[in-house]
Amino acid sequence: MAKLSKKRRFIHPKRTVFGRIRAYFFAGILVTAPIGISLWITWGIIKFFDAQVVKLIPPQYNPETYLPITLPGLGLVLTIIVLTIVGWLAAGLMGRWLVRISGQVMASMPVVRNIYSAVKQIMETILAQKSNAFRHVVLFEYPRKGIWSMGFVTGATSGEVQNIIDADMINVFVPTTPNPTSGFLLFVPKKDVHYLNMSSEEGFKMLVSTGIVTPPDKRSDTQQKQPIIFTENVVRDPAIKQDTKD
């Protein structure tokens, strides 16, 4: 009897037909969902540019006028070409003069100048080749001690905010999950911020996926076994522990 009961412990119930179909269905979702969503977003971007740009082309210059079919992606290609030409012209002497004049005209408009200056400063900061904005992923305690949040460093704090605080501060943007386009700007003491080895792309993937997609720890095995952050204010030194036991 004892042998029979011992045998029964290792008998696994067979998967039903419905269970197999359910497993195959979810496996199919895991395979096709990333591809399908990527293609759907790409097609949406192409359609957006086609709808906004192609209608601005005069009929006599529109290649679709002379073709029996539409050309998907024509608006996106024309946008890239126009932006490249504008950048090439702006790099010249005449282009710099036109950019300066247009900037002065925009700055003289009462309502538009505030929007223009803010957008220009943001774009110059983000697109600058030497900019470190959003390149570092950090970990810090927020919204209270013992709870950790992940954010992106946008730069060193300056101006009035830094001058009234007696510690070195940095600007940290904490996106909301799963929509990273909104979030919170926090001024955090530099000494309370822990820099992570993951890239900004990996950090955004982790945020958008609500933690489902977790990037691997790139540190060595020895470093992975040694925690850097301690949740309690207790000295944790293996050598001290060993001496205490002895």
Chain CA centroid to CA 172, Å: 13
Alpha carbon of 125 to those of 51, 128, 155: distances in Å? Answer: 30, 5, 10
Closest to 141 measured CA to CA, from 178, 179, 162, 172 = 172
Model pLDDT, residue 12: 52
Is 169 inside a domain boundary?
yes
Rg of the Cα trace of the chain?
28
Pairing between β-strand 148-156 and β-strand 137-141 as defined by DSSP bridges: antiparallel
Model pLDDT, residue 240: 44
Beta bridge partners of 174: 184
Q: What are the DSSP calls for 7-49, one per residue?
A: HHHTPPPPPPHHHHHHHHHHHHHHHHHHHHHHHHHHHHHHHHH
Model pLDDT, residue 18: 84
Residue 180: CB atoms within 10 A of its CB come to 15
Is 28 inside a domain boundary?
no
* CB 158 within 8 Å of CB 137: no
Per the structure, the complete domain to which residue 208 belongs is given by 137-219
d(CA 102, CA 202): 39
Is 18 inside a domain boundary?
no
* CB 169 within 8 Å of CB 113: no
**Total number of domains constituting the chain:** 1
Closest to 187 measured CA to CA, from 146, 130, 236, 138 = 138
Name, in order, each residue with C-beta under 8 angstroms of 8's C-beta and a sequence gap of 6 or more.
Answer: none
- pLDDT tens digit sequence for 171-190: 999 998 888 888 999 999 99
Alpha carbon of 13 to those of 10, 140, 203: distances in Å? Answer: 10, 47, 41
- The one-digit pLDDT tens for each residue of the chain (246 residues) are 445 444 455 455 566 888 888 888 888 888 888 888 889 999 999 999 988 988 888 888 888 888 888 888 888 999 999 989 888 887 777 778 888 888 888 888 887 888 888 888 777 766 665 566 788 999 999 998 889 999 999 889 999 999 999 999 999 999 988 888 889 999 999 999 999 999 988 998 898 888 888 888 888 888 888 888 877 654 444 444 444 444
Is 33 inside a domain boundary?
no
Alpha carbon of 233 to those of 141, 229, 230: distances in Å? Answer: 14, 10, 7
Is 152 inside a domain boundary?
yes
CB neighbour class for 169 (10 Å; exposed up to 12, middle 13-18, buried from 19): buried
d(CA 138, CA 186): 12
Is 97 inside a domain boundary?
no
Is 189 inside a domain boundary?
yes
d(CA 181, CA 48): 19
Is 23 inside a domain boundary?
no
